[in-house]
Every structure is written in structure tokens, then in C-alpha cells.
Amino acid sequence: MAFRFIGKWNRSPDGDSPALWMDEETGDVILQGWKIDDQEEIAELLETSERSEIPENETVIRFPADMVNLLREVADGGFAGSDPR
């Protein structure tokens, strides 16, 4: 694996997340964000996707809207801007 750190949220209260990486071999995107534990939110998310559960080996995270530009850069082939850290 060849993970490339793309960036993290510069307003993080603890300085560590949310964050974004790219697997340079596969192009996969790896996200670190705030785990959604609120069962009402989970229920609504499941309802809107017509699903009954989140698989045991998965989680749902919240990723700040002002970081979407980093996702776009990954989708366009990798980080191309200035260092967001």
C-alpha cells in the first residue's frame, strides 16, 4: 500500500480530524471523521437509503462540508493544491 496524506480539517478542536488519505495504488479514499453514534440520526440515514442496518464492520462518519474540496482533488487524480495542514 502507498497511502498519501491529503489533508485534515484546520478547525479541528483536537487537531487530528477529520482527515483524508488516498491509496495511490488503488485510488481508494480513506476518511477519518466523527463517528455518528446518535441512534435517531442513524435511523434517519438508514430510512433515507432504504436500509435496515449498518453492517457490523462499518461505521458512519460526518465529514465537514468545507472539506469537500479535498475530496474533489482526490477525485481529480490526487492532491494538487497547497498543503492544507
| pLDDT attached to residue 81 | 45
**pLDDT score for 27:** 84
Query: Cβ distance 64 to 71 under 8 Å?
Result: no
At residue 55, the pLDDT reads 93
Spatial contact of 23 and 3, defined as CB atoms under 8 Å apart? yes
Cβ-contact 85, 8 below 8 angstroms: yes
pLDDT computed for residue 9 by the predictor:
87
Note the pLDDT of residue 41: 95
Pick out the chain residues at pLDDT < 70: 77-85
- pLDDT computed for residue 36 by the predictor: 93
